[in-house]
Structure 1
């Protein structure tokens, strides 16, 4: 049996048994690192393979009733991710699904993903090793700020008197505006806080310093000390910054990839002026910013169909290097094997955009980091801990014999948004009503709509 096929069987077993791969190795051959070596292509004896196959054939754990994968999902077994490298989809048309604001706003307002992500991030807060001068958080893609501000509320509950240093990366001007609208209340509740927003690349944003000398020379650096002591006063001053923010967040389109690139690297720093003395040693200065974070949030940081090399080299590796001792990086991305994918596969039967699972990403990340990763822990965890679910909001009586058009369109939008289906393919699929029939059938079958996200943690060992 080829190793890829064996690993696929092991993954399926671990998913059903709700155990980590290291646990499987210890149970099957008394070797917790067996699966990791198998992924790396290390030599495995025929006798060991035979023992693994015997173990798999003899022990078939039954799925628990409450497990993440509903037994009615017909595609669950068919979508088990293989470890063999999948063909990397080249973006010849420079398609960027997340640039469609209409689809994005409908998705975030009809689904609970951001709430679920914030709750998952909250599980990491008690595990942080916080040291003076501040609790340092990096959000590797703020979006509209919902996740970050919910996490900030949780942080205040756990660390009400600890200064916060929070850096958020975001290229979208509209999302920066939406985030800024949510900050006045945060400054009112937690005065000892510095919030930094930047449009730099993943390799630059943690240190707030462009890598190219010509970009560093054009750095747009803005420090704002907010006057007053009420959320209303803070809101007025933050709103007045909009023209400067709009100027600093101009973008151009990459001719090579179609991705938006900043015209000028920008940094905007916000803090309460009446706490400047307390915060002086954590307020960043050009070339003098903290670059070691207690918590890094990487929620949906890359396209599903991006190459494994891009995901690891351009995104995950630079972020992992920015972890402080005891720091934790939580990465979250879409997983599939849910009713949302069921809708997609009823319209496009062979569609499966979920190319790289957490084990594949962590293996590639460990290899990319090399010696830089020698004091890092790469935790994939079992499905029961790594996977979590979010839902599309519906009224109790909304799913019945007759489902409203608005509900069907919201469900269809959520499904194609999560799977990142291109507009050209959508136009062809929506030429008749079959896509609505598929959506309606799935909603009735599952009495609603939900999606699965996958999470994994990279942590730096404590001092």
Structure 2
């Protein structure tokens, strides 16, 4: 077995530091929620596909907005996630969601986008969890008691060719309230082929490598997700723009790296348009940006960062730039370095900027 590549996606510490020191996830959820105003339910439920749930902040916050818009209508979510830690965090959010919106089916899987769309569920383990009771406390107890089930069915293995961590087996789990089993009978999958192929909302936040050529991202990520859109369905493709303070700092410490090489939204859309037949006839696309902030919670001063905050900022910057552990090896993280980061930060407005590519499938 080869030496495992140090991959920014696998850096749990960096990820946790980023989500705890910025407000990106909640900002994304609030932004997506604005698109619900003109949205109508087609068919028997509002369907959401989350291409990477992460810790669950985005999808759980968005579900509250969907409930506000459609308080009595069935909702089904299919969320992909391979991280056991993230799934456990996600489950911690869902207890109140099931209490607030009883007509909810929430599915979690590690199956690839292509396999979900193509209904390729060979050797996929199908699990169901019926929540008993009618209180958020009871639901939370049951959901947060599923650690062993998740650990057993979401094991990872190292791919022998790429040394990247991948699921050891395909798994799919559907969660719903037992007291709603009859009313949700049409929505609860009885077999894996019952899982929706088409969705009203598809969310893809930080779902690809910014140094991957547009063609690779199109083939492996964007195209499979576009295929999942129902008529008038909307895809939110969100990623770091690099058009903020992070680029200057990354260039200073990593002059030989171009972390945002393939982040130009216009170039990306042009490539997509040129490589999908009748793209303009099938989809409407728009570009917007989302600003989010670093949260300075320093206890020492409002003007100076504590060492912990400086480290948090550094982690956030390198996470946004997708800088791997190997690429950071030459930098010694010590008090002197953290003071340097603090001095740089004091002169800057610490707003990050994401790009949002919004695709909507045309239809009657």
Q: What TM-score, normalized by structure 1, do the two folds share?
A: 0.73
Change (3 A) 1:350 1:387: farther
Distance in 2 separating the partners of 1:317 and 1:441: 43
Conserved 8 A contact 1:140-1:296: yes
Per the alignment, residue 130 of structure 2 pairs with 225
Shift, 1:309, TM fit = 2.3
- By percentage of residues, which structure has more strand? 2
- 2:139 is the counterpart of 1:234: yes
Whole-angstrom CA distance in 2 between matches of 1:123 and 1:108: 22
User: TM (normalized to structure 2)?
Assistant: 0.92
Structure 2 CA distance for aligned equivalents of residues 224 and 313 of structure 1: 34
- 1: CA distance between counterparts of 2:35 and 2:260? 25
Answer yes or no: is 1:358 the counterpart of 2:265: yes
- CA distance in 1: counterparts of 2:338 and 2:158, whole angstroms: 34
1:247 aligns with 2:152: yes
Point out where structure 2 has 5 or more consecutive residues left out of the alignment: none
Q: Given the superposition, is the C-alpha separation of residues 425 and 242 from structure 1 closer, same or farther in structure 2, using an over 3 Å criterion?
A: closer
Kindly report which structure 2 residues correspond to 1:3-152, keeping only aligned pairs within 5 A, or say none: 94-152=5-63
1:176-195 maps to which residues of 2 (within 5 A)? 176-195=87-106
Partner of residue 232, structure 2: 326
Pick from 275, 280, 285 the counterpart of residue 379 of structure 1.
285
The answer for the alignment partner of 1:82 in structure 2 is none
* Aligned pairs for 1:339-418 within 5 A: 339-356=245-262, 357-370=264-277, 373=279, 375-381=281-287, 386-395=288-297, 398-400=301-303, 402-418=304-320
Instruction: Give structure 1 regions of 4+ aligned residues with deviation exceeding 4 angstroms.
Output: 431-435
- Assess, with a 3 A threshold, how the Cα gap between structure 1 residues 343 and 247 changes in structure 2: closer, same or farther: same
1:452 aligns to what?
353
Contact 1:199 1:205 in 2 (8 A): no
Query: Could you say which structure has the larger radius of gyration?
Result: 1
Distance 1:434 1:428, change over 3 A: farther
CA distance in 1, matches of 2:38, 2:86: 29
CA distance in 2, matches of 1:115, 1:197: 21
8 Å CA contact 1:379, 1:457 repeated in 2: yes
CA distance in structure 1 between the partners assigned to 2:4 and 2:154 by the alignment: 24
Q: Distance in 2 between matches of 1:172 and 1:99?
A: 9
Moved more, 162-171 or 436-445: 436-445
CA distance, structure 2, for counterparts of residue 431 and residue 154 of structure 1:
41
The Cα shift of 1:271 comes to 0.6
1:462 positional shift: 2.6
Q: Which has the higher helix share?
A: 1
The alignment status of 1:203 with 2:105, answered yes or no, reads no
- Aligned-residue offset at 1:377: 1.9
Measure, in 2, the Cα distance between the counterparts of 1:440 and 1:239: 38
3-state SS of paired residue (1:182): helix
Corresponding position of 2:198 = 292
